[in-house]
Amino acid sequence: MKVKKLFGAIVTMLCLAATTYAQEKTITGTVTDQTGVPLPGVNIVVEGTSNGTQTDFDGNYAINASSGQTLLFTYIGQKAERRLIEATSTINLQMQEDAQALEEVIVTALGIKREKQALGYAVAEVGSEELEERAEGDIGRILTGKASGVNITQQSGLSGSGTNIVIRGFNSFSQSNQPLFIVDGVPFNADTNASGRQGSRQDFINGNNGSSRFLDLDPNSIESVNVLKGLAASTLYGSLGRNGVILITTKAGAGGAGTKKTEISVTSSFFFNEIASTPDYQNQYGNGFDQAFGWFFSNWGPSFDRGGVSGWGNSTSFDDAGTLPHPYSTASFSAAFPEFQGARYNWQPYDNFGNFFRTGTVTNTSINVAGASEDGKVSYNANYGYLKDIGFTPGNSLNRNNFGIGGRAQLSNKFTMSGALNYARTKFISPPVALSQGNGATGGGSSVFGDLFFTPRSVDVAGLPFQNPLDGSSVYYRQNNSIQHPLWTINNSGTQQETNRVFGNMGLQYDISDNLNLIYRLGIDNYSENNLNYQNRGGVNSNSNDIRVQSGIYETWNNTNTIWDHNIAINGDYDITEKVGTTFNLGFNGRREVFAQSGVSSDGQQVFGVLQHFNFLNQNEIQGSFQRNVIGLYGQIEFDYDNIFFLTLAGRNDWVSNLAKDNRALFYPSASLSFVPTTAFEDLKGDALGYLKFRAGYGTSAGFPDQNSDSYPVANRLSLDTQDFQDNTGTNIVSNSTGLTLGNPNLKPEQVSEIEIGLESRWWDNRISLDISLFQRTTTDLIVTQPLDPSSGFFRTNTNVGEIRGEGIELDLGLNLIRSESDGFNWNTNINFTANETEVTDLGNDTDLIVYSGFGNLGNAAIQGEPLGVIYGSRVARDGSGNLVVNAAGDYVQDSQDGIIGDPNPDFVTNMINSFSYKNFSLGFQMNYTHGGDIYSSTISTLLGRGLITETLDRENTFILPGVQQSDGRVNDVQINNSDYFFSNVLFGPSELQVYDASVIRLQEVSVAYSLPKKFLDKTPFGSLSFTVSGQNLWYDAINTPDGANFDPNVSGTGVGNGFGFDFLNGPSSKRYGLSVKATF
């Protein structure tokens, strides 16, 4: 309606103008970008007048002007163009992208769009082309190495397992260090709910497979990802933004860019998914100990050759043909396996590990539809994504369906409505992966990998029946049946997480005037995660002899998480003088988080194989809930002086619901400054230096208690147990007991502050760009789950102590080494480099040590004066001069006091992303290198300690451990044999001996793409069509670990959280390769 009025007015005006000023004429034309696509919304003014117009959505314009006047064409991101009006009345213009991208606009906190040059802090951007058509469905893993300062670790190579993201290092050890996810302007829960259910401490022990909930995002539906790394960037998000912010704009949410016609793009991919970390097994020796045969876990038995010192010919266990009694030929198996009675078993190596895994497949289809109304005021986007990722481990898969729809309507009466709604259904299935240290699973779970990795070479996993035909229980080669057959595990045990998730937002903007608007945005994120953890009866966990594992377990529970987010803001934009401009934002943010868990845990299966609660003897409740509200008032004001200086001041005050009234509020300010010398001093700008910007920022933030530490740190609790014990009639006796945690009403929020300086520069016509950021970050009043001496009456309390300090450098170097016009040869390289370290500078007076992740005797510790997260564990005893101490048997003596045994923090991380293009071909690859950092690896120590990999071929000689004798201090001269060396020391000696340097170099991604030339497509419905062959994690080398282990340190044994540097046989890593096709219509 208004449009028509406006249109009418313009027509009338044009007519009037045409008749009144006969010497003027109407200039018309089309403006396109450098690729020939029409540009809508280009500003066109007649220089020196107030006469101006814009191009319409076909890039067409019409303006009245006289000959001799000049038309000025400006458009964001394009070079301004001037055209003198001469005789012709048609001026078509192809604008060129402004290579300096000075006015590049990026999305910052709360969706505020700002020119990049105005920012006083670092923002990393990753575009859709770096996210689409990838072999991984996990946005976190795809981001690996794409931005400096962002450290991403996967839990394991299982499809759908969790992913750890830490930006600029850890700034707390009790609060979450995972970044805030903002999708289309509203918070998005990215938590990881582990599939283990024994409380947060036990999660990683009994199975830590839970997906990180950003898995619910389809990377193909993402338009762009911006990473706000520093606090100055994220102040407006308040405490939630203290770990950095991953700002995601989905294609649905990006609706409104004003595409001219409806465009449909379809991406379809197919990848293979294979185990990447197969160890280099030796095939010379088999099952046994000390070159003697036995049905052990270990592989220190006789040689597969008959002769020689270690030959099987020396052993009475073998018959003349070199066969053994079949492991199922013993009396205890006579009823179950009559067929094996008297059978013989060949003494030979089997590819038991390789045969266990399969080649998985990943199919991925994504459809995106975008369009806009004729006038561009209504736009929409809809997308659908389907992912089926079948893991290389049997029993592991990931299935995901995504729908999203979004749009924006600019209404005629100063209102703009926008909204986006996404639905994701994700199903993750996995065999159980409980913690293992090389001899089956620990705790109350099972582990498919814990029972597989040590398998002796002479045992044919796939060839041995895994199930007792009489009662369904697990059977395996070991004589007391104390190992759960990994195939039994695959077939009788598993975990599932099925998630239904809806997230979206609705926004309403009202333009009070040209300079002032009011925006209200409501965000909702709701997921319901249905979990299942089961195992049929007849399993074995010989480490714990857990009765529940033997009797059968069936646990179902639902996690429902809801975030409501209200945001109302008033935004203004005024020019104070001709050169000084200002923008401001003032807002209110209310956020409510509700988490509820409920379900049933059963054990004691009655009829084998029936997995329903009714079929189990005992039931227990699973229930937990948590809610928290955070309210914030925020403001930000920005001044700019002539595009030379930019000053931004911001502040936010938060109130949180789970602290005592006096301590629940905190104000945190930030300030940042940007200065562009190349604009200030025109002379500076030359052939060499094209653009230079200095920036500095100071930001602060707060950490409020959350689920990661304690949702209710003020509360004093009394625990009630209705099943504590039973009297002799079997009646339950109820007990209550004081809680573990002393409530602390004086607990305050923790405070983080950060100073960041940086520079951005472009050289030689943008051939080289260099960005550097330096930051120093201090966390004070750390919210610490402080262990108390239990003799006080409590086990722990939450308190504010100490200080940790982190600093780092981030470097981004862009090289456009070869650049040619149109479709010639292009080569560009981006290198990023990150080094940071975090040190515990104070722990308060009462505490020497806080082990905050892992176990008390093997975990990440905070120790004053040490890097945060050093690995604390058992050590080899030292004598007064620091020599290692050896006992009379020739083995290392364990120190009675634990100590620091490693530092998992890497020295630096660097990534190189290369892309080449020539005509319609392009080739890209990404290399990552991590230098230093230790890892406690059960995978490596198991492979060595069990005598499985090539490093253990040297086993017929004796070993003498370097050190001194405990009794008399003489240099150790006691000889020990192979199994004592590898088994008793390398694998089961003090934890110090299982720590390795985790430096790794990796070929993260490779891709070759071909897009069909336009001329081939003219007569087809396709707008574009491209084919990409790509691979992920195709090669890596952990350079300082034993080669035969082929160990991939990209694993997080303690799950998603603050623990790092541990591998508890959590699973191999994967490599993926395949083909994808993208077409637009």
Partner 1 sequence: MKIIERKMNKVYTYIKLVLCSAFLVAASCETNELDLTEDPNFLTPSQASPDFFLNSIQEDFARHLEGDATGDPQDNFQTGGNVNGDGLSILGQELTRLMPFGSRDYQGGYQDIDTDDEWDNAYRGILFDIRNMAPLAQEAGLTRHLGIAQFVEAYVIVSMVDFYGDIPYTEAARAPEILNPILDSGASVYDAALTLLDAAIVNFTNNTSANPSTDFFYNNDYSKWVKATNTLKLKIYLQRRLVDSGAATSFNAIVASGNYIQDTADDLDWTWTATSASQPDTRHPRYGLNYASAGAGDYISNWMANQMQVGDDPRIRYYYYRQVTEAPGQEAAPDEELLTCSLQTPPPHYVSGGFTFCALPNGYWGRDHGDDEGGPPDGLLKTAHGVYPTGGRFDDDSFEAIAQNANVNSFGAGGFGITPILDAFMVDFWIAEMAMASGNLAGAASALESAMNKQIAKVQSFAVNDTGGDLSFEPTTTDVTNFVNDVVANFNAAASDAKWDILGEQHFVGHYGNGIETYNFYRRTGFPTTLQPNREPSPGAFIRSMYYPNQAVTSNPNITQKADQTTQVFWDTNPAGSFPVAN
Which listed residue (247, 893, 901, 913) binds partner 1 by CB under 8 A? 893
Which listed residue (545, 606, 975, 1040) binds partner 1 by CB under 8 A? 545
Cβ neighbors of 209 (< 8 A, separation 6 or more) are 155, 158, 160, 161, 162, 194, 195, 196, 428, 430, 432, 433, 495, 497
Q: Which is nearer to partner 1, 270 or 588 (CB)?
A: 588
Strand, helix or coil for residue 600: strand
> d(Cα 277, Cα 154) in Å, to the nearest integer?
14
Q: Binding of partner 1 at residue 620 (CB under 8 A)?
A: yes
Torsion of CA 275, 281, 287, 291, to 10 degrees: -160
Binding map of partner 1 across residues 176-215, x = CB under 8 A, - = no contact: ----------------------xx-xx--x----------
Give 385's Cβ-side CA count (13 Å radius): 29
Residue 8 CB, nearest distance to partner 1 (Å)? 12
Is 627 in contact with 595 (CB distance < 8 Å)? Answer: yes
Taking the alpha carbons of 535, 541, 544, 548 in that order, is the dihedral positive or negative? Answer: positive
Q: Binding of partner 1 at residue 588 (CB under 8 A)?
A: yes
Which listed residue (342, 793, 865, 1021) binds partner 1 by CB under 8 A? 793
Q: Binding of partner 1 at residue 498 (CB under 8 A)?
A: no
Q: Which stretch binds partner 1 (CB under 8 A): 42-50, 75-83, 182-190, 783-791?
A: 783-791
Residue 650 CB, nearest distance to partner 1 (Å)? 22
Binding map of partner 1 across residues 674-713, x = CB under 8 A, - = no contact: -------------------------------------xx-
Q: Binding of partner 1 at residue 469 (CB under 8 A)?
A: no
User: Which spans in 783-841 are helix H?
Assistant: none
Q: Binding of partner 1 at residue 527 (CB under 8 A)?
A: no
> d(Cα 1036, Cα 1059) in Å, to the nearest integer?
23
Residue 964 CB, nearest distance to partner 1 (Å)? 14
Sheet containing 70-74: which strands, arranged edge to edge? 52-54, 43-46, 70-74, 81-84
Cβ neighbors of 880 (< 8 A, separation 6 or more) are none
Q: Which is nearer to partner 1, 622 or 1001 (CB)?
A: 622
Which listed residue (323, 542, 558, 1024) binds partner 1 by CB under 8 A? 542
Task: Give the chain's largest Cα–Cα span.
Answer: 117
Q: Which stretch binds partner 1 (CB under 8 A): 266-274, 675-683, 852-860, 901-909?
A: 852-860
Q: Which stretch binds partner 1 (CB under 8 A): 58-66, 677-685, 715-723, 749-757?
A: 715-723
* Token pair listed for 42: 């280009």
Residue 1050 CB, nearest distance to partner 1 (Å)? 23
Q: Which is nearer to partner 1, 149 or 288 (CB)?
A: 288
Q: Binding of partner 1 at residue 932 (CB under 8 A)?
A: no
Q: Which of residues 325-384 bind partner 1 (CB under 8 A)?
A: 332, 335
Q: Binding of partner 1 at residue 292 (CB under 8 A)?
A: yes
Torsion of CA 428, 434, 437, 440, to 10 degrees: -110
Torsion of CA 432, 438, 441, 447, to 10 degrees: 10
Which listed residue (3, 76, 720, 1039) binds partner 1 by CB under 8 A? 720
Which listed residue (311, 325, 604, 1023) binds partner 1 by CB under 8 A? 604
Binding map of partner 1 across residues 387-406, x = CB under 8 A, - = no contact: --------------------
Q: Which stretch binds partner 1 (CB under 8 A): 56-64, 258-266, 362-370, 891-899?
A: 891-899
Is 537 in contact with 617 (CB distance < 8 Å)? Answer: no
Is 233 in contact with 125 (CB distance < 8 Å)? Answer: no
Of residues 1069, 807, 1048, the one with CA closest to residue 935: 1048
Strand, helix or coil for residue 354: helix
Q: Binding of partner 1 at residue 721 (CB under 8 A)?
A: yes
Q: Which of residues 428-447 bind partner 1 (CB under 8 A)?
A: 437, 442-443
Q: Binding of partner 1 at residue 607 (CB under 8 A)?
A: no
Residue 466 CB, nearest distance to partner 1 (Å)? 15
Q: Binding of partner 1 at residue 513 (CB under 8 A)?
A: no
Q: Which of residues 646-665 bind partner 1 (CB under 8 A)?
A: 655-661, 664
- Give the single-character DSSP code of 433: B
- Give the single-character DSSP code of 353: H
Q: Which of residues 974-1003 bind partner 1 (CB under 8 A)?
A: 983-984, 988, 991
Sheet containing 245-250: which strands, arranged edge to edge? 123-127, 222-228, 245-250, 180-183, 186-188
Binding map of partner 1 across residues 807-846, x = CB under 8 A, - = no contact: --------------------------------------xx
Which listed residue (212, 379, 455, 551) binds partner 1 by CB under 8 A? 551
Cβ neighbors of 893 (< 8 A, separation 6 or more) are 876, 877, 885, 886, 887, 966
Size of interface with partner 1, in residues (CB under 8 A) = 133
* Backbone φ, ψ for residue 385 (5° rounding): -135, 140
> d(Cα 387, Cα 426) in Å, to the nearest integer?
9
Is 468 in contact with 474 (CB distance < 8 Å)? Answer: yes
Q: Which stretch binds partner 1 (CB under 8 A): 365-373, 585-593, 687-695, 834-842?
A: 585-593
